[in-house]
């Protein structure tokens, strides 16, 4: 039995590069695929995000001479983690996990602007450039979201926080998500999500 039509499932960045063996692998990233697939059966509306960077993206450490991955830099829009090259448009690592069900409704690509990273499904990291997802959800009558996927302390958390800010009811299934946990990011983002009234399950 699907849940009510105003409640959608948002599957964040379940791509090969975020799974073991990938360029920015999250521990246990692939272990959540069967549970996510099963959960899809409970929702009438299923949406996905796909991290989708051009080669040489400004969030890649390789684009900053001398910079190591997992260090910080200052971008015009604020502090930014420098990542290993990952989810390059058209590369195998940018593909979804091969066992992920892909019979849902919409795929939102993000991170394609060379100068701005985009953790959230709603806004780029300048917190003002929209992806268009808000309009899609509102015109489809979606009022509540359940989030799953990768990574809990980056793209899942930023998406959940923006969704809550925009007035959607938000639940994050932490059992169907896995974290990168860089310098305490998991504890920090968990705290922020709780303060924002997001249900962590
Ligand atoms: C992500 C870092 C860089 C994520 C994406 O999906 O959480 N993290 N790009
Ligand atoms: Zn990325």
pLDDT at 2 > cutoff 80: no
- Residue 3 pLDDT: 85
The first and second tokens of residue 85, run together, are 């090259």
155 is catalytic: yes
- Residue 87 pLDDT: 98
| Structural domain includes residue 105 | yes
| Structural domain includes residue 18 | yes
16 is catalytic: no
ipTM above 0.90, yes or no: yes
Encode burial over 14-32: b for 16+ CB neighbours within 10 A, e otherwise: bbbbbbeebbbbbeebbeb
The total number of structural domains in the chain stands at: 1
Classify residue 91 as exposed, middle or buried by CB count within 10 Å of its CB (0-12, 13-18, 19+). Answer: middle
| Structural domain includes residue 59 | no
Rounded distance from Cα 137 to ligand 1 centre (Å): 22
Residues with CB under 6 A from ligand 1: 13, 18, 51, 83, 119, 150-151, 154-155
pLDDT at 1 > cutoff 60: no
pLDDT at 49 > cutoff 90: yes
Does the predicted model carry a pTM greater than 0.90?
yes
- Residues 146-196 pLDDT 10s: 999 999 999 999 999 999 999 999 999 999 999 999 999 999 999 999 999
Domain that holds residue 168: 7-54+86-200
- Residues 130-143 pLDDT 10s: 999 999 999 999 99
| Structural domain includes residue 121 | yes
Q: Domain holding 49: CATH number?
A: 3.40.50.850
Rounded distance from Cα 118 to ligand 2 centre (Å): 7
Ligand 1 binding pocket mutation candidate from 10, 18, 85 (most atoms within 8 A of CB) = 18
């Amino acid at each position: 039995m699907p849940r009510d039509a105003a409640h959608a499932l948002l599957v964040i960045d379940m791509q090969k590069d975020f799974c073991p063996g990938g360029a920015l692998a999250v521990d246990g990233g692939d272990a959540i695929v069967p549970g996510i697939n099963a959960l899809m059966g409970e929702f009438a509306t299923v949406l996905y995000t796909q991290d989708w960077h051009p080669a040489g993206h400004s969030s890649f450490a390789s684009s900053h001479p001398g910079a190591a991955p997992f260090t910080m830099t200052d971008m015009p829009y604020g502090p930014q983690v420098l990542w290993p090259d990952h989810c390059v448009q058209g590369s195998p690592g940018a593909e979804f996990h091969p066992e992920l069900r892909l019979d849902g409704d919409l795929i939102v690509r993000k991170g394609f602007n060379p100068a701005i990273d985009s953790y959230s499904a709603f806004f780029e990291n300048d917190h003002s450039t929209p992806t268009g997802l808000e309009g899609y959800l509102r015109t489809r009558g979606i009022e509540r979201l359940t989030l799953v996927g990768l990574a809990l302390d980056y793209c899942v958390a930023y998406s959940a926080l923006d969704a809550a800010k925009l007035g959607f009811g938000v639940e994050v299934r932490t059992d169907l998500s896995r974290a990168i946990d860089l310098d305490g990011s998991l504890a920090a983002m968990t705290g922020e999500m709780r303060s924002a009234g997001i249900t962590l399950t």
